[in-house]
Amino acid sequence: MGDLRRAMALVRKDLLTERRSKAAFNAMAFFAAMVLFIFSFALGPDAPSMSAGPGQTLLQYLWPGLLWVAIFFTGILSLSRSFQIEIESGGLEALRLYPGDKKAVFAGKLVANLIVLGAMELILIPVSAILYNIDLWTKLPALMGVVLMGTLGFAAVGTFYAALTSNLRARDVMLPVLLFPIIVPVVVAAVKATTLVIRGDPMGELWTWLRILGLIDIVLLTVCTLTFEFAIED
């Protein structure tokens, strides 16, 4: 019970800090907008897709992959910031000093990161859908489920590595270098599941990919939770 209260206190503290500074969210919103526009310019807003059906543009065809690239790139900023605020105040040391299980610290940081990432996704998904003219409104509940599962795996590993790299001078470089190779399975499963939600699932593969994504989430969550104490050691 005490550890649950500690985790909730961390969530509240991180969200209050973010709400007042808006440091991570403003950077994420700006970066997400840039990513969406760069994709649009790079791939051409009206370029036809050779792989998809008639009337579909390349951007629409690639949207599931582009969405996850935008989520992962943008999310790095939030994950990095979540431990930056601890370093600035010496708070990471304090988190080591407080009594209780350090799994509560991981849980608190993870939930706070999930909420910030979720808020960013709530803006990113509809804006990108409007920008690329994607009809996702009827598929929104299924899409939200896939996004939640993909974000959970990403945030779990991201929170772990953000803590691990927080004491490094080159933390801004090291976080993506360490994180991206580990989340490749999440990327593959999340993009595949999103594609099946958006384009339809005639072969009934979606459930399989959701189970794979769920299994990856469980493995990543378990490993990161059990080893987090070592990640915040000096």
Partner 1 sequence: MAENAKAPGAARERTDTTALVVEARQVSKRYARTWALRAVDLRVGRGELVSLLGPNGSGKSTLLRLLTAVTRPTYGEVRIFGQQPRNGLGVRERFGVLPHQSYLYDELTAVENLRFAATMYGMRAERDQLVEALAHVGLVHVADRQARTFSSGMRKRLALARATLHDPELVLLDEPYGALDVEGIGWVDRFIGELREAGKTLVIATHEIGRALALCDRAVALRGGKAVYDGPTSDYEGAISGATEAVGLGVKI
Which spans of this chain sit near partner 1 (rule: CB under 8 A)? 2, 5-6, 9, 12-13, 16-17, 20-21, 85, 88-91, 93-100, 233-234
**Spatial CA neighbour of 25 closest among 115, 133, 154:** 115
Asked whether the beta carbons of 175 and 80 are under 8 A apart, the reply is yes
CB within 8 A of 36, min separation 6: which ones? 66, 70, 124, 127, 128, 131
Give me the least distance between CB of 226 and partner 1, in Å please. 16
Give me the least distance between CB of 102 and partner 1, in Å please. 11
Distance between CA atoms of residues 150 and 27, nearest Å: 22
Length of the chain counted residue by residue:
234
Please say which residue, 13 or 199, places its beta carbon nearer to partner 1: 13
Q: What share of the chain is helix, strand, coil (3-state, %, to 5)?
A: 80, 0, 15
Give me the least distance between CB of 78 and partner 1, in Å please. 16
Give me the least distance between CB of 97 and partner 1, in Å please. 6
Give the end-to-end CA distance of the chain in Å, rounded to a whole number: 27
Give me the least distance between CB of 105 and partner 1, in Å please. 9
Please say which residue, 87 or 173, places its beta carbon nearer to partner 1: 87
Please say which residue, 215 or 226, places its beta carbon nearer to partner 1: 226
Please say which residue, 18 or 217, places its beta carbon nearer to partner 1: 18
